[in-house]
């Protein structure tokens, strides 16, 4: 996973929002060599994940065998 230099990962894991942030970064940038992305967590937080479009559609096809969201372009840098 990309090094989270501005956060303490152990503190992030204590909150649901933090776990979602960690999961997003693992999906968008890839996990560390020793880490794995849990399918159950991806399914649990799917509607709350802010992912890049291409990986999001690929994961939808792999997990649910169909695209669940429309293919609307989204800016590369999303600010909430």
Q: Give the count of alpha carbons within 13 A of 51, CB side only.
A: 24
Is the residue at 21 inside a domain? yes
Residues with Cβ within 8 Å of 35's Cβ and at least 6 positions away in sequence, in order, are 1, 26
Is the residue at 71 inside a domain? no
**Which parts of the chain sit beneath pLDDT 50?**
1-2
Containing domain of residue 29, as a range? Answer: 9-64
28 and 52 in contact (C-beta within 8 Å)?
Answer: yes
Predicted local distance difference test score (pLDDT) of residue 44: 95
Q: How many domains does the chain have?
A: 1
Is the residue at 78 inside a domain? no
Is the residue at 17 inside a domain? yes
Predicted local distance difference test score (pLDDT) of residue 1: 47
Is the residue at 41 inside a domain? yes
């Amino acid at each position: 996973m990309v090094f989270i230099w501005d956060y303490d990962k152990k503190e992030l894991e204590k909150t649901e929002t933090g776990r979602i942030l960690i999961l997003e970064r693992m999906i968008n940038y890839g996990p560390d060599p020793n880490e794995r992305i849990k399918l159950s967590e991806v399914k649990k937080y799917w509607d709350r994940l802010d992912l890049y479009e291409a990986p999001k559609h690929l994961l939808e096809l792999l997990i649910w065998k169909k695209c669940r969201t429309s293919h609307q372009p989204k800016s590369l840098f999303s600010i909430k």
